[in-house]
Every structure is written in C-alpha cells, then in structure tokens.
Amino acid sequence: MEPSSDEISHVTQGMSVDVGRAALTVTKALDYVGIDDKSHGRRVGLICHRLAHHLGWEKTRRHFILIAGMLHDCGVSSTTVHQKLVDEMEWEGAEEHCIRGDQFLQSFPPFSTFATAVRYHHTRWQDLPETLDRETREYANLIFFADRLDVAYASFILNHPYHEALLSRENIFSELTPYAGLLFSGEFHKAAERAIQKDSFWLELRDEYLDDAIMEALSSEDYEVSLSFDEIESLGELISQVVDAKSPYTHYHSLRVADVAYTLSGLAGLPPYERRLLRLSGLLHDVGKLRTPDEILEKPGALNEHEIAQMRSHPLDSKRVLKSLFPNNQIAKWASEHHEKLDGSGYPFGWKGDQIDFPTRILSIADIFQALCQKRPYRHRLLIDEVLEIMDEMNAEGKIDTSVYTLLKANKDELYKIAIRM
Ligand SMILES: [Fe+2]
Ligand SMILES: [Fe+2]
Ligand SMILES: [Fe+2]
C-alpha cells in the first residue's frame, strides 16, 4: 500500500532539508574515507569560501564554491585512493575520482550544477579546456588550490598542536608557491597571501569550530533551496551506492537491506510513513563503513581482534552523519542499533530485549539476511535454505525477533529475490 499524501506530509514536515545542509551531510559521510582525518572536504569548502571573499566574488559565487568545495571528493570511496591524493601534489591516478565525482553529482539534480567544477579539480590552470566558461574554470581551479593547501595544513597538524599553525602559516603556504601560475591561477595565490594573515583562517579549520563556521557561511549567503522527501530518498540511494561501491563484496548491500526492511515492515503492518523512514535508515545504515580501511572490508579470512575493534565503530559513525541530516526522527537511532541483538550480545550498546524497538529489529534482521544471501571474501553466496539454517540458530538463541523472523520465513522466496536482485 502506498502512503497517503497526509501521511507523507506528516513525514516531510520535520524533514525539509536545504541543499547546503544536505551537501554538508554528504561531505561528512564521504570524509570518513580519510579514516582519522575526517574533515578534509569540509575544510576545503571553507577555505574556498574564505578565498572567494578575498577575491571579491559576490554572494552567489561564494555560496557555490563553498558547496562545490565541500563536495569535491565525492568520487572517492576507497581509503587507498584517499591516501594517494594526500601524499602526492600531482598524482597520475587523480583523474578517476574527478570523473566519478562528476557522475555522482550529475545523477542528483539538486547537485548537478557543481559537477563540472568537480570534474576538473585536479587539472592544471593552463590545461583547463577552452570550452569551459571563465567562471567554471575558476571554480575548478580554486578547489584544486584549496585542496592542496589543506593537504599541506593537514600534514602539519598531524605533528603539531593546532595553534602552532598560526606561527607556521607562511611555511605551510610556501609549499604551494612553486606552483603559482602553473598548477593554479596566480590570482588565487595572491588572494591567499592576504587571507592567511587572519588568525581565524587557520583556527576555524579545527574540527571543533569547523561545522559552526560552515553553518554560518551557509546561512550568511541566504541561499535556501529545500529538498523534497522524494529527493532526500534519491540522495539516500545515491549515498548508498558510494558506500556499497567501496568493496565488490558489498555491491547493492545497503539498497537490498533497505528494500528487504521496507517489504518486511509492510508484512509486519507498520504505517507507511514509518516504512519510508526505515527504508532511508536501511539505505544509510552502513555509511560509517566508509571509514573502515579497504583492507579490512576485503580481507579474505577472519578478522583479528584489532580489525574487529576498528569495524565496531561503524554504527556510531553512521549515526553521526544521519543525525545532522535528520535531527527530528528515528532514522539515526535505528541505523546506530542495527548490530544490537535481543540477548544483549550485540554492539555498540549491548541493548537487551525491550531496549530494542520494533523497527530496529526489522532492520537488523534485514541486514543479517541480506549479508548471508551475498557472496563474501571468505565464502560463496548461500542458498536460501542455508541462510535460514543459520538464522534458525540465531532465533533459537534468542538473538533476533521471532515474530519478524517468522514473517521472513513465510515469505522467504519473495524476500530472497529482493535480497539478491542485481
Ligand atoms: Fe581533495
Ligand atoms: Fe553494519
Ligand atoms: Fe549492513
């Protein structure tokens, strides 16, 4: 049954999201590929915005470059690629993530206007295609410049307290000087020479101040475009693709978990609006896995205790991202609890019985079911009866909800088809 318009408007009321905030959330999610340094995209956006001020750009252009700058690395989902981009000023493999980023942004209409700037954010100033208009060339190249400045800053604060950046600002900046006029527009270099004199330029890059600075910048440009519920849903699907693309073994995992949870919740009689929220939560439940190093996700054997410990933060990482996009509903909570078990043996909270609400029970069963239906680095895809054999045992041990599991078994063929659909 499709949700009625009344129910949908009930959902969407608490859920109008403006484009800038959506971009900030996507950036937070994607910045996880930096593992410990999870602020690169946001810092680049802010640096772009500050430089735009010093270049004398007007409001709409400043707003544009703040968002485009935040989103610039949306084509990176691999922690290995991220590392290469950080280690080398000009890496020959850099173009691939620009192309992927361009495609990613184009597939979501509210973000498509930023696509071309992202496509060319590793192209030398002199080599930018003549077919691009002047503004777009400037956007692309300012991102390149801010990106390289942030890499220099990030490597500095790796070994120094934050405030030391004030004393070493000229040194950090001097890393870019040999490339002025070559990789980057000389004009940007000059504007940056002035911008870096302000203490706030450096201080606000610090994690504690960063979100506030970005939120202020977003609202000061009074640019408000709201996304509809349908758009938020397609944004969720898009992010899920980036998460699932991280490893060949998790292809479509999030999308399939979302669809299994959506169907199961219908069988269980949840109201339509709650089902759509649960589907969104399913789409994004593993977004925190962007922070898990590639080697762990693709390891062809059992994980050791250190790797398991590293994996175990992903539900809370998912929560952090979802909370900022959906502060007023249960989406973030459900996602953060998808590895809880009724007998208290789950993580990260170790909730027991009634502490785990019904939609969370559905989501966690959908997650277990889909993962078992899917090939893993250490095993082949299981047949439906093999899947149920394993889940029967979990049910007998009191780990999963029996009523939901009974519904799943009664509809096993339909749900198996959804879980393995390509
Ligand atoms: Fe970057
Ligand atoms: Fe998970
Ligand atoms: Fe999952």
* 136-162 pLDDT, tens digit each: 999 999 999 999 999 999 999 999 999
CA nearest neighbour of 363 among 250, 248, 256: 256
Predicted local confidence at residue 196, as pLDDT:
97
Convert the pLDDT of each residue in 356-373 to its tens digit.
Answer: 999 999 999 999 999 999
Could you state, in order of their start, the residue ranges of all structural domains in the chain? 39-220, 229-420
pLDDT of residue 29: 87
Assigned token pair, 287: 């977004």
What pLDDT digit, counting tens, does each position of 299-320 carry? 888 899 999 999 999 999 999 9
268 DSSP assignment: T
Residue 422 Cα, ligand 2 centroid: separation in angstroms? 20
- pTM for the full model? 0.84
Query: Which ligand gives the minimal distance to the CA of 84?
Result: 1
Summarised one tens digit per residue, pLDDT across range 276-302 is 999 999 999 999 998 888 888 888 888
Q: Which bound ligand lies closest to the C-alpha atom of 149?
A: 1
Q: Which ligand is nearest to the CA of 94?
A: 1
Structure tokens at 231: 């758009």
Q: Does 327 or 225 have the greater pLDDT score?
A: 327
- Tell me how far apart the alpha carbons of residues 44 and 217 are, in angstroms, rounded to a whole number: 13
| Token pair listed for 229 | 């519920």
Q: Do domains 39-220 and 229-420 have the same CATH topology?
A: yes
Residue 206 and residue 221 in contact, taking contact as beta carbons nearer than 8 Å: no
Residue 85 CA to residue 79 CA, distance in Å, equals 10
Given a cut of 60, whether residue 327 has pLDDT beyond it is yes
- Most distant CA atoms of the chain, gap in Å: 69
**409 catalytic, yes or no?**
no
Specify the residue for token string 């269980």. 268
Active-site position among 38, 289, 319, 399: 289
Q: If you count DSSP H runs as helices and E runs as strands, how many of each does the chain have, helices first?
A: 24, 2
**Interhelix angle 229-244/19-30, nearest 10 degrees:** 10
* Distance from C-alpha of 214 to C-alpha of 208, rounded to nearest angstrom: 12
CA dihedral angle for residue 35, residue 36, residue 39, residue 44, rounded to 10 degrees: -80
pLDDT tens per residue across span 221-264: 656 678 888 898 999 998 898 888 877 778 899 999 999 999 99
Question: What class has domain 39-220?
Answer: mainly alpha
Distance from residue 277's CA to the centre of ligand 1 (Å)? 32
- Any idea which ligand is nearest the CA of 81? 1
Residue 19 CA to ligand 1 center (angstroms) comes to: 21
Ligand nearest to the CA of 315: 2
How far is CA 97 from each of CA 76, 93, 186, 354, rounded to the nearest angstrom? 6, 8, 25, 45
Return the amino acid letter for 11: V
Ligand 1 centroid to Cα of residue 380, in Å, is 36
Q: Given this model, what pLDDT does residue 253 score?
A: 94
Better pLDDT: 125 or 28: 125
Q: What is the CATH number of domain 229-420?
A: 1.10.3210.10
Distance 254 CA to ligand 3 centre (A): 6
What are 11-66's pLDDT values in tens digits? Answer: 555 566 788 888 998 898 888 887 778 899 999 999 999 999 999 999 999 999 99
Asked whether the predicted pLDDT for residue 8 surpasses 60, the reply is: no
Residues 6+ apart with CB under 8 A from 340: 346, 347, 349, 350, 351, 355, 356, 360, 364
| 216 CA distance to ligand 1 middle (Å) | 22
Q: Are 317 and 297 in contact (CB under 8 A)?
A: no
The DSSP code for 114 is G
- Could you tell me which residues are beta bridge partners of residue 61? none
pLDDT of residue 223: 60
Q: Decide if pLDDT at 182 tops 70.
A: yes
Query: Is the model more confident about 76 or about 109?
Result: 109
pLDDT at 394 over 90: yes
Per-residue confidence band for 1, with pLDDT thresholds at 50, 70 and 90? very low
The CA 3 to ligand 1 mean position distance, Å, reads 41
Instruction: State phi, psi for 337 to the nearest 5 degrees.
Output: -110, 15
Residue at 317: amino acid letter: D
Name which of 100, 331, 362 is nearest 229 in CA terms: 331
Distance 339 CA to ligand 3 centre (A): 8
Q: What distance in Å separates the CA atoms of residue 163 and residue 157, rounded to the nearest whole number?
A: 9
Mind listing the pLDDT tens digit for each residue in 197-226? 999 999 999 999 999 999 999 887 656 678
Q: Looking at the predicted structure, is the pLDDT value of residue 106 above 50?
A: yes
Give the pLDDT band (50/70/90) at residue 2: very low
Query: What is residue 221's predicted lDDT score, i.e. its pLDDT?
Result: 61
